[in-house]
Structure 1
């Protein structure tokens, strides 16, 4: 099914006789959801764009590339830096803006501006009964009652099918530069990232891979130059600086986890304490890309090591297998959390038809 309007979407959900597999472009699907495919790609197009108000309203099936092109025409962007994981996951298809919010997809700039959910102003969606629900609006101070915008972000289509989303957007900076630190072991390289995060110099990216630690700053050219100088003195080590397009390319590699693309094995996405990041990887081995100062680890491991991964992050984070087979993709939930999730599912999808088996 591929509805072309919100009305058709509501009718499709209301009339479903069995489970539905909700899919935008199919580039971010995880888990083992089953059912008749319900595609949102027919719900496409920018509904409202006000560059002066930094506000964008767009239908959920709109390709991310189209959204980014519209914003680039006004020298603006989605601040949370949407990752493109097709190369990492071995997927084809076209990423949609609804799938971005449904998975709360967020790139390196999350350490500065937050995740996709933090940029979302409002949503329209169809719940599991076929009812159309609206929450939020076009400004930040608009929420009364339940904040369904935040609830839908990261719910992966299990509570409702997004039909429209609105975001605050951000002006593109005048300049960007990246400090590249080499010659450090992982623990020291990650410590340098944490030092930058703890500084007053407003970094917008802190990552490590392939033996290099990367620290990004963005903004007015004079401010960027000043902060680069201060950070260079702060972190020490063998430091070089790349700017402009070279810096942007380096962060696209981090954003899209390019160093791990094509590597054999299971791919794990691990959220943990930055102070534990080096220890987690040392314990598990494998090739890693660290983002968010170590708070996010992408790790390639041999298949069948799920129990070891869970033990390594127990009490200090969680892990999701984003590529690979065998066992659950998502971590087990604490009983209290599982009860809360079940209650929400009963409220928004009483028949249990939306992305059954996803989470």
Structure 2
């Protein structure tokens, strides 16, 4: 398992050049490496090799609020980036979660770890995922070569978009050293509509109705018998959208939360506070929203609890069940918190996808030294 604070042990190069030389040496000797950012995203299980941390490759390279672009080195803590953006009335639109509470860890989430995991929170259903805001990357591949792709604006991304490959690869194709991201204005006003005493089926029906409108719902989640819809924007137009949604969803009664309550609620939903404080296995399941009710019921039958995000496109399951049992009803399930379970964290790939993945790894990491076996564990 990658430690909570990988910078305190193992290898921690201070620059991209040092990182490239280190990986080139390991490529020549075929010695594996465990790549770590803050170690706060997924409990990967045992991965061979010495820990290689990017924590020392840190710092904001440039931030242009007028251009809404941020370039930062991979080890830059989110705790440094988010306040800087907020001071300019901006934010990372994809709303990455802080998984420390649910994983019981005290590491430091980094921007490189966010990109490597394609970490995307509740606002993904409106604003898109992390990879949709990625303008460019610099990384070191498994041979020690420094590669770069993209730029500071979307139109600079030509040819093969390597950023899309690196984002979500969890360090298995290359070690990120620098990322360029598009920022967006932080919307000043927000409210939440809460529908209580509903089933999973009723929650997904509420989401389907709301998300089919032009009223720009920025969050649609379900937990403990309550369905939540978030609306953000400027005061008058936000009020109009809220009222239209309330009218559309009648005769259901809704609780309306104000801005402060909305911020607190969606922080807890984003960070899975309802599944913190336990060691039970935690699964992240991607499904078609229309299949969310059946998937949730099948998972609950294993004896645990579920919550929904992304309008039903993301199901979280916390509870008992072997990897085989969970993936029998939820093939696209990732084991985020192991809770004593062995086996692969990531779901098996379909044969055509597996062949493509193997080809990419052969191209970028021919010696198989970067997080070897991670995506198979």
TM-score, normalised to structure 1's length?
0.97
- 2:234 alignment partner in structure 1: 220
Equivalent runs, 1:127-206 vs 2, <5 Å: 127-206=141-220
- 2:67 alignment partner in structure 1: 53
Give the Cα–Cα distance (whole angstroms) in 1 for the partners of residues 299 and 94 of structure 2: 29
Give the Cα–Cα distance (whole angstroms) in 2 for the partners of residues 312 and 278 of structure 1: 12
DSSP-derived class of the 2:155 partner? coil
Q: Deviations over 1:63-120 (max 9, x none)?
A: 0110101101111100000101111122220000000000000000000011000011
- 2:361 alignment partner in structure 1: 345
What stretches of structure 1 move > 6 A for 4+ residues in a row?
none
1:334 is displaced (CA, Å) by 1.1
- 2:306 alignment partner in structure 1: 288
- Do the aligned residues in 1 keep the contact of 2:40 with 2:107 (CA within 8 Å)? yes
1:294 is displaced (CA, Å) by 0.8
Give the Cα–Cα distance (whole angstroms) in 1 for the partners of residues 42 and 238 of structure 2: 38
- 1:113 alignment partner in structure 2: 127
- 1:306 alignment partner in structure 2: 323
Give the Cα–Cα distance (whole angstroms) in 2 for the partners of residues 179 and 207 of structure 1: 11
- 1:84 alignment partner in structure 2: 98
Give the Cα–Cα distance (whole angstroms) in 2 for the partners of residues 174 and 88 of structure 1: 28
Q: Deviations over 1:163-219 (max 9, x none)?
A: 000000011112111111112222112210121111110111100101111101111
- 1:261 alignment partner in structure 2: 276
DSSP-derived class of the 1:275 partner? helix
1:333 is displaced (CA, Å) by 1.1
1:264 is displaced (CA, Å) by 4.1
Give the Cα–Cα distance (whole angstroms) in 2 for the partners of residues 190 and 261 of structure 1: 24
Give the Cα–Cα distance (whole angstroms) in 2 for the partners of residues 330 and 3 of structure 1: 28
Give the Cα–Cα distance (whole angstroms) in 2 for the partners of residues 330 and 235 of structure 1: 38
- 2:3 alignment partner in structure 1: none
Root mean square deviation of aligned Cα:
1.1
DSSP-derived class of the 1:262 partner? coil
Where does the alignment leave 5 or more consecutive residues of structure 1 unmatched?
none
- 2:7 alignment partner in structure 1: none
Larger mean CA deviation between 234-243 and 158-167 belongs to 234-243
- Do the aligned residues in 2 keep the contact of 1:28 with 1:99 (CA within 8 Å)? yes
Give the Cα–Cα distance (whole angstroms) in 2 for the partners of residues 300 and 184 of structure 1: 20
- Do the aligned residues in 2 keep the contact of 1:274 with 1:293 (CA within 8 Å)? yes
Give the Cα–Cα distance (whole angstroms) in 2 for the partners of residues 224 and 111 of structure 1: 18
- 2:35 alignment partner in structure 1: 22
> Which of residues 349, 356, 362 in structure 2 aligns to 1:333?
349
Larger mean CA deviation between 225-234 and 327-336 belongs to 327-336
> Which of residues 196, 209, 224 in structure 1 aligns to 2:223?
209
1:245 is displaced (CA, Å) by 1.5
- 1:2 alignment partner in structure 2: 12
Q: Deviations over 1:263-283 (max 9, x none)?
A: 342111000011111111211
1:55 is displaced (CA, Å) by 0.5
